[in-house]
Structure 1
Amino acid sequence: MSSDLIIDVTPSEIVIALQEKKKLAELSRERSGAKFAVGDIYLGKVKKIMPSLNAAFIDVGYSKDAFLHYLDMGPQFATLNKFLRIASSRKNKISSISRIHSEPDINKEGKVNELLKVGQKILVQVAKEPINTKGPRLTSEISIAGRNLVLMPFSDKISVSQKIRSTEEKNRLKKLIQSIKPRKYGVIIRTVAEGKKVAELDKELRRLVEKWETTFQKLNRAQAPSLIIGEIDRTTALLRDIYHPDFNSIIVNDQSVASEIADYIGSIQADKRKIVKYYKGRQPIFEHYGIDKQIKASFGKTVSFKDGAYLIVEHTEAFHVIDVNSGNRARAGNDQEKNALEVNLAACDEIARQLRLRDMGGIIVIDFIDMHVAANRQKVNDHMKEVMADDRTKHNILPLSKFCLMQITRQRVRPEEKVETAESCPTCKGSGKVVPTVLFADDIDGKVNYALKELNKKKLNLKVHPYTAAYLTKGWKSRQNKWFFKYLKWVSVEAVNSYSYLEYHFFDENEEEIIL
């Protein structure tokens, strides 16, 4: 499947759009300096023991305490605790966990207060990012992910992805990893490792072991709570998980980020560095490649998908509800059963896309159009499983009920991606009253004067609707030229198709909006 990655880098965040067959499939954003991402490893401190929940609340530096259940502590928790004591000791001279004697596995049916006490330091990893009012969800079963392998300190097990079908290939990879892995490390072999040679896997395994063993130096001087190992940024993490040789292009509007991605792609597949391209256009990158338009069409309560059919998407605290409607198709043709089947099958494609795009997690209930034939319900069920096969997030699909309701559970590790598509009128600010159009240019004049003289901005970028841009820039006596001769500073005017007729925004030299 042909794929393209469009990356919009701004001072405040990085927004990543994945297109499959020129259609938006995933959208994620990472705020600059964001913490508590899935995979981050922290030195935390036990704040509260909850025997009734068999869990503990851990201080990792977030505004709300993070949650650690006993079952998420991992069988090697005692060994991990011993490692923490040794690594934190100033007399520590051990540089590898292979020299640490393993403790017995903890009791699966044990109690949290048997292992933890308030004030105790503990090494934990973020398993689920903060969502709504909840703090991060933690695990003490530490893992460090690479592209082909996942390293599991203190475990000796080797597991192979179930998506690798060939028994012969599974056995080859298992024997290969067994021959090169250090003692006291377990390894999960990922699907992309299929067919890889020993040199490539050995290089990655050494890098992951080295990354883990830096904790000896960090723990020696760390104070709880503090970050010990940070997960790579989401751009590279996404590439690590989704990159495949069929990628057509990766387009970035920032030179340094483009170079970093090119280096990463080159380390995976040297001849593919050229697919990374730096976007130099004046138009915003998402507008140039049609991403903004797709976002507006794909988010919101109502989503159209085929011949007048549409979805209604509702969100609650506990679960998500998707209602499938045939719309205008209900009047097309006389065979209601056939019509319902066609709409439901098409809805499966759009629902699978929406789940990935919005990163909807938890319980999803889908109300399909009623079908009375059991074979048709089975077709819809099979098709939903087929189109969700490419979804990397763990999920489970239950068969349709006789009322044509389907339940899907999908793992939730990050907050759902939300984009508000219903906009307040930028002209009247929701009041319903508009400033007279004849005063519009004077209003802009006043704000240009304030930004350049009062705020002493060296550079000003004014983004407006294309019609307004033409009015401000065309001709020798244009407003833009008048500003230059008056202030001896150039005000660039940029046309943005997604703006409404009288909408405008000012930006400084760092592309940060100036609120006037």
Structure 2
Amino acid sequence: MSSDLIIDVTPSEIVIALQENKKLVELSRERSGAKFAVGDIYLGKVKKTMPSLNAAFIDVGYSKDAFLHYLDLGPQFATLNKFLRIASSRKNKVSSISRIQSEPDIDKEGKINELLKVGQKILVQVAKEPISTKGPRLTSEISIAGRNLVLMPFSDKISVSQKIRTNEEKSRLKKLVQSIKPRKYGVIIRTVAEGKKVAELDQELRRLVDKWETIFNKLRKVQAPSLVIGEIDRTTALLRDIYHPDFNSIIVNDQSAFDEVADYIGSIQPDKRKIVKYYKGRQSIFEHYGIEKQIKASFGKTVSFKDGAYLIVEHTEAFHVIDVNSGNRARAGNDQESNALEVNLAACDEIARQLRLRDMGGIIVIDFIDMHVATNRQKVNDYMREVMANDRTKHNILPLSKFCLMQITRQRVRPEEKVETAEVCPTCNGTGKIVPSVLFADDIDGKVRYALRELNKKKLQLKVHPYVAAYLTKGFKSKRNQWFFKYLKWVDIESNSAYSFLEYHFYDESQEEIIL
């Protein structure tokens, strides 16, 4: 399976598109200056304890207080609290947690108000990003993720990924890590560590320990609430989790992001650094590589997938519902049961892709086309498990019922990816009233004049729908040529199929949008 990563960097956000066999399977957005990402470690302050929920609300600087349940405190919470007191002290001379005496594990059946008091400082990590009206979900069981290993301060356990199949390899990795692991640290060995040498694992482990122990100096200086250790940016975090040797290319349209990604790939696999490419084209990177078209086709309420069959995707507050429909599809010579099985198996591929693409979490209910033969229902159930095996997000698939309903639970750690595919009516702009369409070109003409003469812009870029771009640029007497002879300045016209028919935007030489 070939994979390509296409990264679109703009002043306001970074959008990351992952393609497998040229088909879009994941889309991730990171706002510039975004906070409270999964993995960020904060020094927070207890705002309120809720004995009825056995939980507490923690102030980490977000507009809504974050939620911390007693079960998310972790067994070593008492040791973590002791570490926080020592590290925050200005007289502290300790620089390694190996010197801190461990406290007994907390009681699994304990109460939150026995351990936390209002106003108390607490070290927490974001386990789930803010979603809808809810604040972040927190944990005090701290972990620092690397590519091959996950470091767990204050724990002495070594765990190995269940996806590593052979017991010999599990045993080898466990012995290697046991020989290099510092005291008072636990380690989770990730799947990609399979076959790795001790030198590579030791280098990464030292880097993770150093990252954690920088906290000693930071905690003396910061006041709660404050970010103490930030997770790496989402681009590098995604690469850390999904990169494999079958990657064909990683294409970036920003020089600094290109350098960062190239350095990261070079650090883990030097011979693959050349797959990182810098895109210099004038056209939008997503437009050039066909991502924009795939986004339009893949999001929305109705998604077509094979020979007229389609999915209906509905979102509610509590869960998501996916309905499988055969449409007008019917194979001559096949009975209803065979057709239903064929459509349902094809739907499994598209549903697995949609879950990853939209990052749908919580409860997902799928209404497959009715099948009366139990073996056919089992085939669909088995195939869904097979195609979901590539999904890195934790999930659980329940057996298909006799009514052909399937329930899937999928962990939700960040807001679902939503893309509005329905376009505003290009004639009335959603108002229900229209203005003469012949005035559209005059409207653009007036704004070009204002930008070039009144605002005195040296360069001007106009982004429009491809049909409008063709009208403005076609022929020697085109609108663009008329503007050049009139203002002696060139207007760069770029087409973007993501725009609605009469939508347009102006940008200056710094790629800042000009609001006219």
Q: Which residue of 2 aligns with 1:116?
A: 116
Letter of the structure 2 residue corresponding to residue 379 of structure 1: K
In structure 2, the residue matched to 1:205 is 205
State the match for 1:284 in structure 2.
284
Counterpart-to-counterpart distance in 2, 1:130 and 1:512? 29
**Aligned position for 2:81:** 81
Q: 2:250 matched to 1:250?
A: yes
State whether structure 2 residue 432 is matched by structure 1 residue 428. Answer: no
Question: 1 CA distance for matches of 2:357 and 2:490?
Answer: 40
Residue number in structure 1 paired with 2:187 = 187
Other structure's SS at 1:329 match:
coil
1:104 Cα shift? 0.6
Q: Please report how far the alpha carbon of residue 493 of structure 1 lies from its aligned counterpart in structure 2 after TM superposition.
A: 1.5
* Partner of residue 411, structure 1: 411
Letter in 1 for 2:112: V
Match of 2:314 in 1: 314
Taking the aligned partners of 2:96 and 2:458, their CA distance within structure 1 comes to 55
Give the direction of change, closer, same or farther, for the CA distance of 1:331–1:197 in structure 2 (3 Å limit). closer
1:253-310 per-position Cα deviation (integer Å, ceiling 9, x unaligned): 1111111101100111000000000111111111111111111111001111111111
Q: What residue ranges of structure 1 are gaps of 5+ in the alignment? A: none
**Superposition deviation, residue 446 in structure 1:** 1.1
The answer to whether the Cα contact below 8 Å between 1:146 and 1:204 also exists between their aligned partners in 2 is: yes
Structure 2 residue matching 1:472: 3-state secondary structure? helix
Alignment-derived partner of residue 53 in structure 1: 53
SS of alignment partner, residue 155 of structure 2: coil
After superposition, where does 1:285-300 map in structure 2 within 5 Å? 285-300=285-300
Name 1:72's counterpart in structure 2. 72
Q: Provide the C-alpha distance between the structure 1 equivalents of 2:326 and 2:476, rounded to a whole number of angstroms.
A: 55
In the alignment, what sits opposite 2:18? 18
The Cα shift of 1:83 comes to 0.6
In the TM superposition, residue 330 of structure 1 has moved relative to its aligned partner by 4.6
Q: Is the 8 Å Cα contact of residues 333 and 339 (structure 1) preserved in structure 2? A: no
Q: 1:454 & 1:216 partners in 2: Cα distance? A: 56
Question: RMSD over aligned Cα, in angstroms?
Answer: 1.5
Quote the residue 2:342 is aligned against: 342
Within 1, Cα distance between the matches of 2:277 and 2:427?
37
In the alignment, the residues of structure 2 paired with residue 304 and residue 316 of structure 1 have an alpha-carbon distance, to the nearest angstrom, of 21
**Equivalent in the alignment of 2:440:** 440
1:253 maps to amino acid? N
SS in structure 2 opposite 1:223?
A: coil
Secondary structure of residue in 2 paired with 1:328? coil
Taking the TM superposition and a 5 Å limit, the aligned residue runs for 1:142-153 are: 142-153=142-153
Q: Normalised by the size of structure 2, how large is the TM-score?
A: 0.97
Q: Is the 8 A contact 1:142 1:152 kept in 2?
A: yes
Bigger shift: residues 348-357 or 439-448:
439-448
Cα deviations across residues 461-482 of structure 1 (Å, max 9, x unaligned)?
1112344334433455543344
Return the offset for 1:511: 2.3
Q: Does 1:6 align with 2:6?
A: yes
Shift of 1:508: 2.2
More displaced 10-residue stretch of structure 1: 486-495 or 310-319: 486-495
Letter of the structure 2 residue corresponding to residue 319 of structure 1: F
Partner of 1:62: 62
Which runs of 4 or more aligned residues in structure 1 lie more than 6 Å from their structure 2 counterparts after TM superposition?
Answer: none
**Cα separation, partners in 2 of 1:390 and 1:363, compared to 1, 3 Å:** same
Residue type at the aligned position of 1:422? A
Counterpart amino acid of residue 502 in structure 1: L
Which whole-Å CA distance do the structure 2 matches of 1:473 and 1:375 have between them?
60
CA distance in 2, matches of 1:226, 1:45: 9
CA contact (8 A) 2:75 2:105 kept: yes
Matching residue's letter, 1:52: S
Give the Å deviation of 1:425.
2.2
Verify the 8 A CA contact 1:464 1:494 in the aligned structure 2: yes
1:260 matched to which residue of 2? Answer: 260
What code does the residue aligned with 1:254 have? Answer: D
- Contact 2:427-2:437 at 8 Å conserved across structures: no
* Partner residue, 2:97: 97
C-alpha offsets along residues 313-342 of structure 1, whole Å, 9 cap, x if unaligned?
001111100011111125754511111111
1:466–1:416 CA distance, 2 compared to 1 (3 A)? closer
Give the letter for the 2:392 counterpart. R
What SS does structure 2 have at the residue aligned with 1:251?
Answer: strand
What SS class does the counterpart of residue 388 from structure 1 fall into?
helix
| CA offsets 1:478-513 (integer angstroms, 9 cap, x no match) | 433443454444321123344454332212223233
* 1:107 counterpart letter in structure 2: D
Identity percentage of aligned residues: 89
For residue 132 of structure 1, give the secondary structure of its aligned residue in structure 2.
coil
Q: 1:410 to 1:3 in 2, by over 3 A?
A: same
1: CA distance, partners of 2:441 / 2:60: 52
Residues 157-166 or 326-335, more deviating: 326-335
**Aligned residue for 2:303?**
303
How far did 1:385 drift?
A: 0.3
Answer whether contact 1:11 1:510 (CA < 8 A) is retained.
Answer: no
For the 8 Å contact 1:7–1:251, the answer to whether it is kept is yes
Which shows bigger deviation, 428-437 or 1-10? Answer: 428-437
Q: Contact 1:18 / 1:27 at 8 angstroms: preserved in 2? A: yes
Instruction: Give the 3-state SS of the residue equivalent to 2:483 in structure 1.
Output: helix
Cα 1:471/1:336, change in 2 over 3 Å: closer
Structure-2 separation of matches of 1:295 and 1:242: 21
CA distance in 2, matches of 1:330, 1:467: 36
Matches of 1:345 and 1:322, distance apart in 2: 14
Q: Deviations over 1:366-396 (max 9, x none)?
A: 0111111111111100000000001000000
AA aligned opposite 1:267: S
Aligned position for 1:237: 237
3-state SS of paired residue (1:389)? helix
Contact 2:365 2:407 in 1 (8 A): yes
* 1:426 positional shift: 3.7
> Which moved further from structure 2: 103-112 or 417-426?
417-426
Where structure 2 has 5 or more consecutive residues not aligned to the other structure, the ranges are none
Q: Is the 8 A contact 1:427 1:503 kept in 2?
A: no
Q: Is the 8 A contact 2:296 2:498 kept in 1?
A: no
Match of 1:385 in 2: 385
